[in-house]
A and B are shown apart, each in its own frame.
Chain A
Amino acid sequence: MNMNYTAEELAFRDEVRAFLDEKLPADIAAKVKGFRRLSKQDHQRWQKILTEQGWYATHWPEEYGGVKWTPVQKHIWDEESCRYGVPRSIPFGVNMVAPVIIKFGNEEQKQQYLPRILSGEDWWCQGYSEPGAGSDLASLKTRAVRDGDHYIVNGQKTWTTLGQHANMIFCLVRTNTEVKAQEGISFLLIDMNTPGITVRPIITLDGEHEVNEVFFEDVKVPVENLVGEEDKGWTYAKYLLTYERTGLAGIGLSKAALSHLKQLASRRLKNGRPLIEDPAFSQRISQVEIDLTAAAISNLRIIASVEGGGVPGAESSMLKVKGTEIRQAINDLARRALGPYALPFVEEELDLSYEGEFLSDENAAPLSAQYFNNRKLSIFGGSNEIQKNIVSKMILGL
């Protein structure tokens, strides 16, 4: 039993810290740490810096421009980047479609798409969920019918995160209605500028525009945009979902949010004393910190097992459930720490260049909205109910 980093791993951590000290733009880090909105340009600016460093594609083989990090190194990167306020990578290109193209795509597709992902030329979004196909993804209805050198696509995708910025979408489409639901699905790469595609914003309860509906009306997609074989898309989709699930526990993000919460609670007052000194509130913070400690060790156990050649299985599902519950609990406490000031929604204070007086606290403005927004954590990436189904089936054999 050894829970310490090796000398090499410690050296890597120093390297990561030196890089972030030098290259992470202060304005971007301030936005991330203060839970402010990031623009498309913010994401692109940071991606360029990462690509120049050669650290953007951590899931890719080196021959395609990836960096070969061990699971522990990836973990160190995750910890440090959350601590420093590094923007979350938009995963759809680099961590989702790219591994599928690398594993199942042909050489031309690799040549065409991978460099454009690295350079940031393409912004990908994900076309999986449909209004009628959420947890039951395999029931998706968007149709792709072969017509000469093209597929004609008709249907609708939903919950398309940041689709408003994207120029490419990878879609699960139905190519065969004669077979079992899972066996008639194909994996298509579609240019968002193709005629017949309409993107409509979905505004969430916090007033944010993060997700979209994407409509397809007689959209002509060249057959060379099919990944792998026709009707085999479900296999590729499942492969991709294993990538999606790792990291959804958000341990690093929870640590950052907890430290933010403690700072907030030491500035807010109750009975003339900092709220963090209030016995009940400090116990609430302590409880979530204790739970986070346990989850962080569970996370390390999974990482160590993968480092030793294991495959992360249903354990990541368990960790997704715990991790998201913990993060939601932290958001709940941050909202509670504001007391009556949880009510005002002072949008102008979300802007980092805001120079007026803060209504209550410099970091209050996003907190209630964030609490509501992060209810999504237990819904997306496979809802927590679905994760529990996976655990009960795969681990418990129930």
Chain B
Amino acid sequence: MDFRLNEEQQMLQDTVARLVRGEYSFEKRLEFSETDAGFSEDFWKQLGELGLTAVPFSEELGGFGGGGVEVQSVMTELGKGLCLEPYLQSVILAGGLIGQSGNDSQKEQWLAGIAAGELKAAVGLQEPQSFYSLNDVETRAEKNGEGYVLNGRKAVVIGGQCADLILVSARTAGSSRDSDGISLFAISPETAGVERRVYPTIDGSKGCDITLTNVQVGADALLGNEGQASNAIEYQTGRAIAALCAEAVGVMEVANELTLDYLKQRKQFGVPIGKFQVLQHRMVDMMSELEQARSMAILAASVADEEQSDERRRILAAAKNVIGRSGQFISEKGIQSHGGIGMTWEYNFAHYAKRLVMINHQLGDDDFHLERYATLLQAS
């Protein structure tokens, strides 16, 4: 048994760490966040040039053939810098969906671009009524000649504001919330009838809601078999959950370092406040939460690219549940330990705190995954 990274994995992680340290200061991040894209195009380009956007892809696509652990190494470092680039959306989710469901010509058309960081893709799987359920799909795709006509709305598509390609789930059969009858389409945001309402997110990123009104696409927009996308969607969301957990661990690490530093530096009543037992114990709890989260992120990474099974489903639900709770705990207790200063825009801690709470709102919160876990438990 050995939990250490191998030499290659360590080199990968060091590369990302160096890049983030050099390019992603807190001040720069605030600037990136304010741009129309909502992230640094330049940093994204560098991720591409260094082959980091290709990490999970096969070697013939210029990739690394990386699995869960390699992705984890990248995501944790991106988390430490609170990086805003659409790595999760484009590389992990969209890349994964096309890789799993796409036919040869679709893969050829899009995957190399995604792996090189030249094509940015986003994924619209949620809807206004869906909460976190991936099967609650009301967007309809009707067959029309050779192609399809799409109508509906996709909610909170992070990175959708600047994506070159958007993958959306739409119902070709069945009724709302059936897992059968869901299809996946790749559409260009420039297609007539695609309307994006772009907004900033409270944690400094950008996203959009996408309304589809009589959007005509060809048969070549369909990814995988008609009506059978739910397995791929579930599987790839699982990979994304593992990646998001890894990001969260990076965010938590920095949040805890900042809080610990503050406890050592800040003096009240003539001593560093870290001398007060109530704050010591709280800091210990925050560290324990981080370690719980780290363990689950490792476990999630280890099953991310395994074949689908109830065991994999359970582990990923468990991991996201732990990450959601640990993240909120570290965020809230970290703010409390800092006092007012932990709530100010000018101090980086507040931005780590916000990201941690918002990670809980991506790909299902701790309640959602607890329920999912319990359902799997009852079924076994």
Contacts and interface: CB of A to CB of B under 8 A. Distances in A.
Contacts of A343: 156, 158, 201-203, 205, 207, 358, 361-362
B6 interface: no
A361 B267 CA distance: 44
B131 A345 contact: no
A205 B156 contact: no
Interface string B341-377: 0111110001101100110011001010011000000
Given A280-B367, A375-B335, A203 B345 contact: yes
Given A139-B268, A280-B371, A345-B202, A272 B177 contact: yes
Interface residues of A, number: 53
A322 to B, nearest CB: 16
A340 B155 contact: yes
Interface in B52-101: none
A373 to B, nearest CB: 8
Contacts of A275: 131
A272 B138 CA distance: 11
Contacts of A332: 328
A281 B367 contact: yes
Contacts of A203: 344-346
A388 B336 CA distance: 14
A159 B343 CA distance: 11
A272 B199 contact: no
- Give the most central of B133, B156, B351, B370: most A CB within 10 Å: B156
A237 interface: no
B340 A340 contact: no
A7 to B, nearest CB: 45
B197 interface: yes
A384 B339 CA distance: 10
Given A205-B351, A343-B203, A271 B177 contact: yes
B129 interface: yes
Contact of A134 (B197, B205, B268, B343): B268
A206 interface: yes
B209 interface: yes
Interface in A195-219: 202-207, 211
Nearest to A338: B361
B269 interface: yes
B343 A207 contact: no
A204 B344 contact: yes
Contact of B201 (A207, A338, A345, A372): A345
B332 interface: yes
B26 interface: no
B119 to A, nearest CB: 24
A210 to B, nearest CB: 10
B361 A207 contact: no
A371 B332 CA distance: 10
Contacts of B176: 272
Given A340-B156, A376-B340, A205 B131 contact: no
A380 interface: yes
A204 B343 contact: yes
B199 A379 contact: no
A156 B12 CA distance: 47
B158 A272 contact: no
Contact of B155 (A284, A341, A379): A341
Contacts of A291: none
Given A203-B344, A385-B278, A269 B207 contact: no
A344 B156 contact: yes
B199 A346 contact: yes
Nearest to B205: A343
Contacts of A338: 361
Nearest to B370: A280
B174 interface: no
B343 A205 contact: yes
A204 B126 contact: no
Interface string A337-368: 01111111110000000000001100000001
B128 interface: yes
A345 B332 CA distance: 20
Contact of A272 (B136, B156, B332, B345): B136
A126 to B, nearest CB: 13
A39 B371 CA distance: 43
Contact of B132 (A335, A339, A372): A339
Interface in A221-272: 268-272
A206 B202 contact: yes
Contact of A378 (B128, B201, B336): B336
A222 B227 CA distance: 81
A368 B344 contact: no
A345 B361 contact: no
B147 interface: no
B200 interface: yes
A43 interface: no
B340 A159 contact: yes
Interface in B183-209: 197, 199-203, 205, 207, 209
A372 B202 contact: yes
Given A343-B202, A360-B128, A205 B353 contact: yes
Nearest to B128: A360
Contacts of A281: 367
Nearest to B366: A336
30 contacts: A132-B267, A134-B268, A135-B268, A204-B343, A205-B344, A207-B345, A269-B129, A271-B133, A272-B129, A272-B136, A272-B176, A284-B367, A335-B361, A339-B131, A339-B365, A340-B126, A340-B361, A340-B362, A341-B155, A342-B202, A343-B205, A343-B362, A359-B209, A360-B155, A372-B343, A373-B343, A375-B343, A383-B336, A385-B278, A388-B278
Given A204-B345, A385-B279, 11 more contacts: A271-B131, A271-B133, A339-B131, A340-B362, A343-B207, A343-B361, A359-B199, A372-B343, A372-B357, A379-B340, A384-B336
Q: Which 3 A-B pairs have the closest CB atoms?
A: A205-B350, A136-B268, A203-B345
